[in-house]
A and B are shown apart, each in its own frame.
Chain A
Amino acid sequence: MRHPITRRSVLAAAAALVAGRAVAQAKKYGPGASDTEIKLGQTMPYSGPASAYGTIGKLHTAYFKRVNDSGGINGRKINLISLDDGYSPPKAVEQVRKLVEQDEVLALFQTLGTPSNSAIHKYINAKKVPHLFLATGATKWADPKNFPWTLGFNLSYQAEGQIYAKYLLKNKPAAKIAILYQNDDYGKDVLKGVKDGLGTAGAKLIVAEASYEVTDATVDSQILTLQGSGADTFINITTPKFGAQAVRKAWDTGWKPLHIINNVSASVGSVLVPAGLDKSVGLLTLQYYKDPNDPQWKDDPSMLEWRAFMGRYYRDGDPKDAANLYAYLTVQTMVHVLKACGNDLTRENLMKQATNIRNLKLPLLLPGMSLNTTPDDYFLVKQGQLARFTGVQWQGFGDVLSTGG
């Protein structure tokens, strides 16, 4: 025997390892997790028509670098494999199969876009891989019965509609409501939320409904029809181009309803400026996280922390872009769930923790808001706060409203 010491020390080390195993029996690992690493995967539109959203994946990567620099989560480094799908569903299927079958990630995190997620929905649930915090607002991501492994992040379109309805029932119970909506999945999703929120008793409050196609040139005639119905409340479920047209037309015709515009079209730059800021005064919308351009949060500690992070870890990112703030919220939620898993990093336990989020108050959410899930309720964000347009900016008011109460 030429190296007795080496052999003996190897044996000793092996014995120690066995003993160590016995002590830390609680450690359990699924695919993609080990003593040193947790592997996550995502697809992002780094190229293609939605590439502006690619910044979300870049921020996640930067945030995990910060987590890893400070020792990781329970001593494990996070390895996020973020792949380009070009916003193309077939490419998303291919990349997700790579993540699941070849890279063997523990879970998917924030895969972006309704079409891409629709394409992988069945596959990922058949494979029983956690499909967490999807970056899309469609309501179908909260379907624990049929798709127990999929859990979205965004305030769902239906929830938004419900909150508007609840607000009206409480504050304007005699409202005569007119609704304009885009005739597709998104528009119908919000509309369903409004109707569900009003309930059977409130359904009679709706005096007029009109829809438009994305291919339409204008919504002028729809606005005239709605105005002619004598409604005093207008719920405007439109995408930015039509949102701007509707705001302008409703003002120009002299109709002065209580005007609620959905969050999709609440952008000051791309909707309210083209519509005319003076014509937008008094509009209502719903928000659930702080707006980086809102002066009231300028010196807010959470905003300062976020800006400091942007300056140190993600210099290429635009600190005016709300998508970067959104991405920060989502990655913090993911870190929260991974911490909650402790040493049981199986796919089952990850899903268990993700569906048992209790009262998670992230500082960048609006004050008084929290994130909650249960195994029967996959809607993570259920609250929002109404904001009124002052002519310069959105100003939050009133209590935090929720779909539940």
Chain B
Amino acid sequence: MNTPSRRVAGLALLLMLACVLPFVVSNYRVFQCTLVLVYAIALLGLNMLTGYNGQISLGHGAFYAIGAYVAAILMDRFGVPYWLTLPVAGAVCAVAGFLFGLPALRFEGLYLSLATFALGVALPQILKYKGIEHWTGGAQGIVIVKPEPPAGVPLTQDQWLYFVALATAVLMFALGWNLLRGRIGRAMVAIRDQPIAAQAMGVDTSMIKAMTFGVSAMYTGVAGALGAIAIQFVAPDSFTIFLSISLVVGIVVGGLASISGALYGAIFIQFIPNVADEISKAAPWAIYGVFLIGFMYVMPTGVAGFIRIAVARWRRRRS
């Protein structure tokens, strides 16, 4: 088999495994896997911005929160069906990201990351603001109803939600793959590596950067909406700055500028805190830190990079 068809076969196998998974593990594990898919979508969004385009955002938790609140408010106040909230949340976040991106993109590197950090720390407090309290529920947050599977589908709520998340993730990954390998993807990478050369080649740098910001925010917003539906609750305390930092940790551990890295990163941020908590109650974050340093030391290019190198080495040995 040549490489592309082998890759297609690999993806098909992975998808098949993902479809079988909810029938062999408990509902609680299915719920955790749903969260992994949610994080994977958010990480793919952030990876477009940071990994491919070279802009560091320390405030993507804000877009995740906006997506979550859009879904919760639409379901709770307006009775919108849950599946319809996903595209709306994505659209709202795309606009928010694009608008935030336009002025913020005048900043470079560390300055941009501080501007986004400001957004990340500010948003939880803005959500408590009295003027919008009748929508956001203030500090109390909003409790939302978990979607039932459609009539006649013999699945539990958790299994159904898992498949909704899986379908969304597959769609978002396919779109992302399409975008990144095409003209725009190349322009994004060019801006990251050689901004002046890219501009000389006729790439509209600021437009591409703002657009990347918008697309990235859209992905994160869709993830936020899915996450809110899975958790059935949103509150300002759910979206502290730590969420934004976790997302950055996820893309770096998973592998910068890698599509599959988003999935590995999602597994890391979902499960490693639980493992750390099981090892030590006194200092779970110290254990987490040890894991993080260990990962960085053993896999300096992230899990995706590590696998790529391992596969290449194995091929070389065979030939």
B70 lies within 8 A of chain A by Cβ: no
A213 to B126, CA, bound (A): 12
Contact with A along B260-282 (1 / 0, CB 8 A): 00000000000001000100011
Interface of A is mostly: helix
Q: In the complex, which of the residues A47, A94, A118, A214 contacts B35, with contact meaning CB atoms closer than 8 Å?
A: A94
Distance from A143 Cβ to chain B, minimum over Cβ atoms (Å): 13
B140 lies within 8 A of chain A by Cβ: yes
Q: A87-B237, A118-B235 are in contact. Are A97 and B28 (CB under 8 A)?
A: yes
Q: A93-B233, A102-B28 are in contact. Are A48 and B242 (CB under 8 A)?
A: yes
Number of interface residues of A (CB under 8 A): 36
20 other A-B residue contacts (CB within 8 Å) besides A88-B238, A119-B141: A46-B277, A48-B240, A58-B281, A84-B273, A84-B281, A90-B227, A91-B273, A93-B233, A100-B28, A115-B235, A118-B141, A119-B143, A119-B232, A119-B235, A121-B143, A122-B232, A184-B139, A185-B139, A185-B140, A213-B130
Which residues of chain A are near B139, meaning CB under 8 Å? Answer: 115, 184-185
Q: Which of B250-303 contact A (CB under 8 A)?
A: 273, 277, 281-282, 284-285
B231 lies within 8 A of A119 (CB): yes
Q: In the complex, which of the residues A47, A83, A97 contacts B285, with contact meaning CB atoms closer than 8 Å?
A: A47
A101 lies within 8 A of chain B by Cβ: yes
B32 lies within 8 A of chain A by Cβ: yes
Q: In the complex, which of the residues A84, A102, A121, A184 contacts B277, with contact meaning CB atoms closer than 8 Å?
A: A84
Which residues of chain A are near B26, meaning CB under 8 Å? Answer: 101-102
11 A-B residue pairs with CB within 8 Å: A46-B282, A47-B284, A82-B281, A89-B237, A93-B231, A94-B31, A94-B35, A101-B27, A119-B238, A122-B143, A184-B138
Which residues of chain B are near A90, meaning CB under 8 Å? Answer: 227, 231, 233, 238
A89 lies within 8 A of B31 (CB): no
B232 lies within 8 A of A89 (CB): no
Which residues of chain A are near B282, meaning CB under 8 Å? Answer: 46
Chain A CB within 10 Å, residue with most, of B140, B141, B233, B242:
B233
Which residues of chain A are near B235, meaning CB under 8 Å? Answer: 89, 115, 118-119
Residues of B within 8 A of A (CB): 26-29, 31-32, 35, 125, 128, 130, 138-141, 143, 227, 231-233, 235, 237-238, 240, 242, 273, 277, 281-282, 284-285
Which residues of chain B are near A93, meaning CB under 8 Å? Answer: 231-233
B237 lies within 8 A of A83 (CB): no
Which residues of chain B are near A215, meaning CB under 8 Å? Answer: 125
A98 lies within 8 A of B284 (CB): no
Which residues of chain A are near B237, meaning CB under 8 Å? Answer: 87-89, 115
A98 to B27, CA, bound (A): 10
A46 lies within 8 A of B281 (CB): yes
A404 lies within 8 A of chain B by Cβ: no
A84 lies within 8 A of B284 (CB): yes
B31 lies within 8 A of A97 (CB): yes
A49 lies within 8 A of B240 (CB): yes
Q: A89-B231, A101-B27 are in contact. Are A183 and B128 (CB under 8 A)?
A: no
A123 lies within 8 A of chain B by Cβ: yes
Which residues of chain B are near A123, meaning CB under 8 Å? Answer: 232
Which residues of chain B are near A122, meaning CB under 8 Å? Answer: 143, 232
Distance from B266 Cβ to chain A, minimum over Cβ atoms (Å): 14
Q: A87-B237, A90-B238 are in contact. Are A46 and B284 (CB under 8 A)?
A: yes
Q: Which of A86-110 contact B (CB under 8 A)?
A: 86-91, 93-94, 97-98, 100-102
A83 to B275, CA, bound (A): 11
B240 lies within 8 A of A88 (CB): yes
Which residues of chain B are near A82, meaning CB under 8 Å? Answer: 281
Contact with B along A59-96 (1 / 0, CB 8 A): 00000000000000000000000111011111101100
Which residues of chain A are near B32, meaning CB under 8 Å? Answer: 94
Which residues of chain B are near A84, meaning CB under 8 Å? Answer: 273, 277, 281, 284
Which residues of chain A are near B232, meaning CB under 8 Å? Answer: 93, 119, 122-123
Chain B CB within 10 Å, residue with most, of A90, A121, A122:
A90
A82 to B32, CA, bound (A): 19
Distance from A183 Cβ to chain B, minimum over Cβ atoms (Å): 6
Distance from B127 Cβ to chain A, minimum over Cβ atoms (Å): 12
Which residues of chain B are near A213, meaning CB under 8 Å? Answer: 130
In the complex, the chain B residue whose C-beta lies closest to that of A119 is B233
Q: Which of A165-201 contact B (CB under 8 A)?
A: 183-185
Distance from A316 Cβ to chain B, minimum over Cβ atoms (Å): 8
A48 to B26, CA, bound (A): 29
Which residues of chain B are near A183, meaning CB under 8 Å? Answer: 130
Which residues of chain B are near A101, meaning CB under 8 Å? Answer: 26-28
Query: Top 6 closest A-B pairs, CB basis?
Result: A101-B28, A119-B233, A84-B277, A115-B237, A90-B231, A89-B238
Chain B CB within 10 Å, residue with most, of A82, A94, A214:
A94
Distance from B170 Cβ to chain A, minimum over Cβ atoms (Å): 23
Which residues of chain B are near A94, meaning CB under 8 Å? Answer: 31-32, 35
